Amino acid sequence: MGSYAERVGAGALIYLATALEYLTAEILELAGNVARGNKKTRIIPRHLQLAIRNDKELNKLLGRVTIAQRGVLPDIQAVLLPKKTESHKAGGKASK
């Protein structure tokens, strides 16, 4: 037990590095979009949290990961949201 180095080929290490680079780039791109949406120039842990939790596949992959100082996801129940009215459709332009 403990001698796993002989089983790992050079191609596996390159593949692992490529996969990690891709995941890192994907997370940073999404977090950058969140930061830009919040008019910030730096990515903070909160932006990482929002990026990961709002992406279905990343959330599945990193669902049990804890990110320090990340806050919580905004979750407003549907009954608390304002009701949509159809007054905009009925009112408006007067015909001549």
Give the pLDDT score at 95: 53
Task: Convert the pLDDT of each residue in 53-93 to its tens digit.
Answer: 999 999 999 999 888 876 676 677 778 778 887 765 555 55
Give the gyration radius of the chain's Cα atoms.
23
Contacting residues for 40 by C-beta, under 8 A, at least 6 apart: 47
* Tokens linked to 60: 């599945």
79 or 42, greater pLDDT: 42
Domain ranges of the chain: 8-74
- Is the pTM for the entire model greater than 0.75? no
Instruction: Return the CATH architecture of domain 8-74.
Output: Orthogonal Bundle (1.10)
Taking Cα atoms as reference points, which of 38, 91, 46 lies closest to residue 68? 46
* Single-letter code of the amino acid located at 8: V
